Amino acid sequence: MALNMSLFSVNAILILSTDDSSRILTRYYSPPHIPHNAHGNDYPGANPYPTLKDQKAFEKGLLEKTAKQTDVILYDNRVVVFKMESDVMLYVVGGAEENEIMLYSVILALRDALNILLKMSVDKRTLIENYDLASLCIDEIIDDGIILETDPVVISQRVSRPPAQDAPNMQGIDLSEEGLLKIYQFGKQKLGERLRQGL
């Protein structure tokens, strides 16, 4: 049996509501490189839930199975690690041969980064109101099933980068014709100075 030499390790990240079993945010991944002789879902690592119906059935069964379980289970021939936060469940799904510790570090990174970004208020309502932050957080952790980062502080800093200190203050800008002409003249002057410095 050949060793899996791919960095692809996460099949899905799910954030589901425990109240009504609804989806809050879900991402399913397929390996970026499919062997030339493979068709459909008959190769290892293929997304076994290609349709919305399959995904929802998997998610419903997963919620039922994890209601009274520990943090790591084997479900539907997949390693699933999960954490409960308030009224939501966070899941990371990997293949049956995947390293549980690595997947567990991903779920901890997701939970801790969301706690930092959402100021310790990770619940259904807050996640829906801050969907963009949660989505960016997942994108910083995983790209196409490949784990990029597991440090929650780094992830939260990348997602919520404060504006640069040298950014111009846009509140006092005069947008009249005269104001725009002044801005144009100022830009033209600065460009001329830079060109002279370069020669």
- 57 pLDDT band (50/70/90 cuts)? confident
Q: Is residue 76 part of a domain?
A: yes
Q: What is the pTM of this model?
A: 0.67
Mean pLDDT of the chain: 80
Q: Is residue 195 part of a domain?
A: no
Q: Is residue 190 part of a domain?
A: no
Q: Is residue 167 part of a domain?
A: no
Mean pLDDT, rounded, for 20-25: 86
Mean pLDDT, rounded, for 170-187: 75
Q: Is residue 183 part of a domain?
A: no
Digit-coded pLDDT (tens) for 26-56: 998 887 665 544 545 555 556 677 788 888 8
- CATH number reported for the structural domain that contains residue 122 in this entry: 3.30.450.60
Q: Is residue 73 part of a domain?
A: yes
Number of structural domains (the chain) is 1
What 3 state SS string does the chain have? CCCCCCCECCCEEEEEECCCCCEEEEEECCCCCCCCCCCCCCCCCCCCCCCHHHHHHHHHHHHHHCCCCCCEEEECCEEEEEEEECCEEEEEEEECCCCHHHHHHHHHHHHHHHHHHCCCCCCHHHHHHCHHHHHHHHHHHEECCEECCCCHHHHHHHHCCCCCCCCCCCCCCCCCHHHHHHHHHHHHHHHHHHHHHHC
Residue 57 belongs to what domain range? 12-159
Q: Is residue 186 part of a domain?
A: no
Digit-coded pLDDT (tens) for 153-171: 998 888 876 555 555 566 6
